[in-house]
Amino acid sequence: MHILVMEDDPVLGDILVDYLSELYTVDHAYHSDEVYALLDKNSYDLFIFDINVVGKNGLRLLQELREFSYTTPTIFITAYKDTKHLTQAFEAGAHDYIKKPFELDELQARILNLKRIFNLDQQTSIQLSSDLVFNPKTKTIDKENQTISLGQKNTLILEYFLKNKARIISNDELMQNVWDYDSLPSEATLRSHIRDIRNIIGKEKIKTIRSEGYIYE
């Protein structure tokens, strides 16, 4: 499981990263600009955001991400004790909320709960069919005794489809969850990526739903 932590306190940030890195793949951002830069390069299974950070706070950041169709499960961590911020966190799209100070074991329990609810089990390889194995970490597919390179964007696109099987995904949702919000591609570019993936895994796996988007079956 790949986790993105946004925490501007360097001490707490290091503690969280050290602890979580023993169990998961973890990236650390100090503020929202770094979050967007990392989202341009990586796909994440879970966000852990502090609310009160320098610049754009965690609430505003998550609101923006939800508007851009990021559905990634999110836990807020905060020193606020009032119910107002708790309410705002859930209104912004959070799935859980933990108040400082907290035990690391409590955070892990909350992560495991979301992992169970959203089926976030980490997989080093994914069997797509009897003769296709997808390796997200190496960005490759093993097919008929050969290894085919997917590249960064095609890997992120395929990962997103696999996390949202049997659900129609619009072009906007797909682009906003794979590309940085400042560099969204044209629909022609997206179609080109879909075509490349289909040529590797088979045209029947990703179906086009006219005027709505795509579905992975």
Q: How far apart are CA 5 and CA 44, in angstroms?
A: 10
Q: State residue 124's pLDDT score.
A: 65
Cis peptide before 185 (omega within 30 of 0): no
Q: Is the pLDDT of residue 174 over 60?
A: yes
Q: State residue 169's pLDDT score.
A: 95
Q: State residue 119's pLDDT score.
A: 77
Q: State residue 122's pLDDT score.
A: 53
Poorest-confidence range of 73-77, 141-145, 199-203? 141-145
Q: What's the helix, strand, coil split of the chain in %, to 5?
A: 40, 25, 35
**pTM score of the predicted model:** 0.63
Q: State residue 121's pLDDT score.
A: 64
In sign, the C-alpha dihedral spanning 133, 136, 137, 140 is positive
Domain residue spans of the chain: 2-117, 126-216
Tell me: the pLDDT tens digits for 112-164?
999 988 877 655 678 898 899 998 878 899 998 899 999 889 999 999 999 88
Provide DSSP, 94-106: -SEEEESS--HHH
Mean pLDDT on 158-186: 89
| Residue range 126-216, CATH number | 1.10.10.10
In sign, the C-alpha dihedral spanning 19, 121, 159, 201 is positive
Q: State residue 150's pLDDT score.
A: 92
- pLDDT band at 173; cut points 50, 70, 90: very high
In CATH terms, is domain 2-117 a member of 3.40.50.2300?
A: yes
Kindly tell me the burial class for residue 67, based on how many C-beta atoms sit within 10 Å of its own C-beta (0-12, 13-18, 19 or more).
Answer: exposed
Q: Is the pLDDT of residue 110 over 80?
A: yes
Q: State residue 136's pLDDT score.
A: 85
Mean pLDDT on 87-92: 96
Q: State residue 44's pLDDT score.
A: 86
Q: Is the pLDDT of residue 55 over 90?
A: no
